[in-house]
């Protein structure tokens, strides 16, 4: 990459990762046609693409809806970049990770950021920032196409800044573009504050809260299916899908700084929800997971108490499985740590997990009232997989994408009949049962490109229900028909071949499904068909 000599000194300025660090981790593979930034796929595209997108959105939906959509896309992209920085550089100082967003903006050629004021306190969720954006892509392209704007137009970048910053705080961070180069100003200027500091009655805040932030109802299955890519992206999609029904509740808990209890059937993703809450509340910190009856739990609680007593210590999250079995002494210690009669602790999160419902926990009587109340200010109830409708087949897509990531020649997908099948099953084992069944079906299917309902039924050890046929007859009548054919001189082999061909036709050419219906292996049926000249 060519860099002007007078700008080389800028590459090593600022926190880690510096511009030099980012460029060092960027690789171009001509043989694959890919650009990677520390393992994350990037794309180099013309600036006109974003301008075309904005123009088309305005033309089809109007200024307001176009702004909302681009703010939303930018917000989502900013959150993904913040999580990428935290994963790619796990030992990074949280302050450096926070400010790395400005350097990502520059290394991608979006804008040059100049910091006028940047004051942040992660522990107390305090933030205020004032920045200049020089040579903004959105502002420059708008002015080139349409002349001077009458209002700020850097919508995607404003959403990006809000999404990136909000990952590091328990409060939503919003940015406003108070001046814009597209309006004739020398540079764009953005000011960032917490949503509380802006005020909930601020018109822009209301737009952001009511229209920009995506709710569960606004997340269609098509979007989640299109998000399925390979490798860690598929894992991220999986985690997002698991917590989707309770995400709003988890976000409220994270903002309020409250501990909680998560209930739900085994395999519904209770721990995934707890881990998501930990990541949402604390930019960095330790996540501990223990069973309530683990002999190591009492010592861990004492260690957490000692850690929290140290100045500047990292946040601690303790997830207790089967919380209903927690000993009284440990409950007393946690009640003391949680300060149930005062403000909740800033650096401690306790999450109880149980497969019993909240009323069942209360009726059981093994948990002290003060401990149960401390965890049930805003409880979280994870739904069973069978209650999640179209999501069930989407989970199957995610699990299949994991196979694709490991075997590039493997391109399995669920057929329409298979999707109907997974929606109709009770799945008492929830997600682990679904994953095992889908992967088993994919690996055993005769034609893994299109997994059928019969493949899934066989993988689940449940024979598929044969379709009713108008000419079905009883056993005695069937034997009579066979005898009649034999009396007419039809050879038994010919009759068997007729039955085999009919089974293959009924299975739409799927040899494995036909073999299962005939009570033989695929190899046996395939051999018999080939011996008769059929393949």
Report the CATH number at residue 59: 3.30.1380.20
Distance, in Å, from the CA atom of 25 to the CA atom of 39, rounded to the nearest integer, reads 8
Residues 65, 192, single domain; the answer is yes
Of 351, 368, 383, the last residue of a domain is: 383
CATH number at residue 431: 1.10.8.60
Residues 314, 397, single domain; the answer is no
Q: What is the pLDDT of residue 217?
A: 35
Residue 228 lies in a domain: no
Confidence of residue 471 (pLDDT cuts 50, 70, 90): very low
Residue 3 clears pLDDT 70, i.e. is over it:
no
Residues 495, 433, single domain; the answer is no
What DSSP assignment string belongs to 376-391?
-SS-EEPPPGGGGTTH
Residues 168, 286, single domain; the answer is no
Confidence of residue 260 (pLDDT cuts 50, 70, 90): very high
Average pLDDT over residues 157-170: 90
Judge contact between 414 and 396, C-beta under 8 A: yes
Q: Are strands 260-263 and 188-194 parallel, antiparallel or unpaired?
A: unpaired
CA 155 to centroid of chain Cα atoms: 24
Q: Which of 290, 287, 294, 361 is nearest to 320 (CA)?
A: 290
Q: What is the pLDDT of residue 175?
A: 95
Distance, in Å, from the CA atom of 338 to the CA atom of 259, rounded to the nearest integer, reads 8
Residues 259, 160, single domain; the answer is no
Q: Are strands 34-37 and 26-29 parallel, antiparallel or unpaired?
A: antiparallel
Q: Which of 14, 17, 12, 10 is nearest to 38 (CA)?
A: 17
Residues 17, 131, single domain; the answer is yes
Residue 326 lies in a domain: yes
Q: What is the pLDDT of residue 350?
A: 96
Q: 317: helix, coil or strand?
A: strand
Residue 397 clears pLDDT 90, i.e. is over it:
no
CATH number at residue 309: 3.40.50.300
Joined tokens for residue 354: 């149980």
Q: What percent of the chain has pLDDT over 90?
A: 37
- Domain limits for position 143: 5-214
Q: 97: helix, coil or strand?
A: helix
Residue 324 clears pLDDT 90, i.e. is over it:
yes
Residue 214 clears pLDDT 70, i.e. is over it:
no
Q: What is the pLDDT of residue 200?
A: 77
Q: What is the pLDDT of residue 7?
A: 59
Q: What is the pLDDT of residue 253?
A: 92
Q: What is the pLDDT of residue 529?
A: 78
Which comes out higher in pLDDT, residue 284 or 180? 180
Q: What is the pLDDT of residue 426?
A: 92
CA angle at 260 for the pair 282 and 273, rounded to the nearest 5°: 65
Residue 468 lies in a domain: no
Residue 410 clears pLDDT 60, i.e. is over it:
no
Residue 227 clears pLDDT 80, i.e. is over it:
no
Of 360, 383, 406, the last residue of a domain is: 383
Average pLDDT over residues 200-205: 86
Q: Which of 6-15, 221-230, 451-460, 488-497 is the most confident on average?
A: 451-460
Half-sphere exposure in the Cβ direction for 226 (13 Å, CA):
5
Residue 222 clears pLDDT 60, i.e. is over it:
no
Residues 248, 163, single domain; the answer is no
Burial environment of residue 110 by CB neighbours within 10 A (0 to 12, 13 to 18, 19 or more) = buried
Which comes out higher in pLDDT, residue 304 or 505? 304
Distance, in Å, from the CA atom of 351 to the CA atom of 360, rounded to the nearest integer, reads 17
Cis peptide before 246 (omega within 30 of 0): no
* Range with lowest mean pLDDT among 133-147, 280-294, 373-387, 517-531: 517-531
Residue 251 clears pLDDT 60, i.e. is over it:
yes
Residue 193 lies in a domain: yes
Of 342, 366, 383, the last residue of a domain is: 383
Q: What is the pLDDT of residue 225?
A: 47
* Range with lowest mean pLDDT among 154-168, 169-183, 209-223: 209-223
Residues 437, 480, single domain; the answer is no
Judge contact between 101 and 124, C-beta under 8 A: no
Residues 314, 342, single domain; the answer is yes
Distance, in Å, from the CA atom of 10 to the CA atom of 95, rounded to the nearest integer, reads 19
Query: Which DSSP symbol is given to 310?
Result: S
Confidence of residue 235 (pLDDT cuts 50, 70, 90): low
Q: What is the pLDDT of residue 484?
A: 66
Residue 230 lies in a domain: no
Average pLDDT over residues 102-115: 83
Residues 67, 169, single domain; the answer is yes
Residues 191, 118, single domain; the answer is yes
Q: Which of 103-107, 436-440, 479-483 is the most confident on average?
A: 436-440
The structural domain count of the chain equals 4
Confidence of residue 480 (pLDDT cuts 50, 70, 90): low
Residue 282 lies in a domain: yes
Distance, in Å, from the CA atom of 227 to the CA atom of 76, rounded to the nearest integer, reads 12
Residues 239, 141, single domain; the answer is no
Mean pLDDT, rounded, of the chain: 82
Which comes out higher in pLDDT, residue 352 or 94? 352
Q: What is the pLDDT of residue 339?
A: 80
Residue 165 lies in a domain: yes
Residue 464 lies in a domain: no
């Amino acid at each position: 990459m060519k860099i002007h000599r007078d700008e080389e000194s800028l590459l090593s300025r600022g926190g880690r990762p510096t511009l030099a660090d980012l460029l060092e981790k960027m690789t171009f593979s001509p043989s694959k046609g890919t650009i990677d930034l520390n393992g994350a796929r990037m794309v180099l595209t013309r600036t006109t693409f974003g301008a075309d997108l904005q123009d088309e959105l305005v033309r089809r939906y109007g200024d307001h809806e176009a702004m909302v959509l681009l703010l939303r896309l930018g917000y989502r992209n900013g959150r993904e970049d913040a999580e990428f920085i935290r994963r790619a550089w796990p030992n990074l100082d949280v302050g450096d990770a926070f400010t790395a967003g400005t350097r990502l903006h520059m290394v991608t050629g979006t804008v040059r950021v100049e910091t006028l004021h940047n004051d942040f306190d992660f522990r107390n969720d305090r933030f205020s920032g004032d920045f200049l954006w020089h040579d903004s892509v959105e502002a420059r392209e708008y002015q080139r196409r349409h002349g001077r704007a009458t209002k700020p137009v850097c919508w995607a970048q404003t959403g990006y800044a809000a999404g990136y910053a909000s990952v590091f705080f328990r409060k939503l961070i919003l940015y406003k573009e108070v001046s814009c180069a597209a309006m004739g100003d020398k540079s764009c200027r953005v000011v960032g504050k917490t949503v509380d500091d802006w005020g909930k009655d601020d018109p822009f805040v209301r737009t952001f809260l009511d229209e920009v932030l995506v709710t569960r109802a606004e997340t269609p299955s098509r979007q989640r299916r299109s998000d399925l890519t390979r490798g860690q992206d598929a894992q991220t999609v999986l985690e997002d899908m698991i917590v989707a029904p309770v995400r709003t509740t988890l976000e409220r808990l994270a903002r309020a700084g409250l501990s909680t209890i998560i209930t739900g059937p085994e395999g519904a993703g209770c721990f995934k929800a707890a881990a998501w809450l930990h990541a949402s509340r604390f930019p960095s910190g330790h996540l501990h997971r223990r069973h309530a009856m683990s002999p190591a739990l009492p010592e861990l609680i004492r260690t957490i108490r000692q850690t929290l007593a140290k100045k500047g210590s990292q946040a601690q999250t303790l997830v207790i499985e089967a919380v209903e079995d927690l000993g009284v002494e440990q409950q007393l210690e946690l009640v003391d740590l949680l300060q149930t009669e005062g403000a909740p602790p800033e650096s401690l999160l306790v999450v109880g997990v149980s497969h019993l419902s909240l009323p069942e926990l209360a009726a059981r009587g093994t948990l002290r009232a003060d401990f149960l109340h401390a965890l049930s200010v805003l409880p979280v109830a994870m739904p069973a997989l069978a209650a999640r409708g179209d999501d069930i087949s989407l989970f199957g897509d995610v699990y299949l994408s994991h196979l694709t990531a490991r075997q590039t020649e493997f391109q399995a997908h669920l057929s329409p009949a298979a999707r109907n099948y997974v929606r109709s099953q009770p799945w008492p084992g929830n997600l682990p049962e679904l994953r095992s069944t889908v992967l088993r079906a994919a690996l055993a299917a005769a034609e893994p490109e299109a997994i059928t309902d019969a493949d899934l039924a066989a993988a689940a050890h449940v024979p598929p229900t044969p379709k009713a046929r108008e000419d079905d007859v009883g056993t005695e009548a069937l034997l009579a028909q066979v005898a009649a054919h034999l009396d007419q001189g039809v050879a038994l082999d010919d009759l068997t071949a007729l039955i085999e061909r009919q089974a293959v036709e009924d299975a739409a050419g799927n040899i494995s499904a036909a073999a299962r219906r005939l009570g033989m292996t695929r190899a046996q049926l395939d051999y018999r068909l080939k011996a008769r000249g059929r393949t």
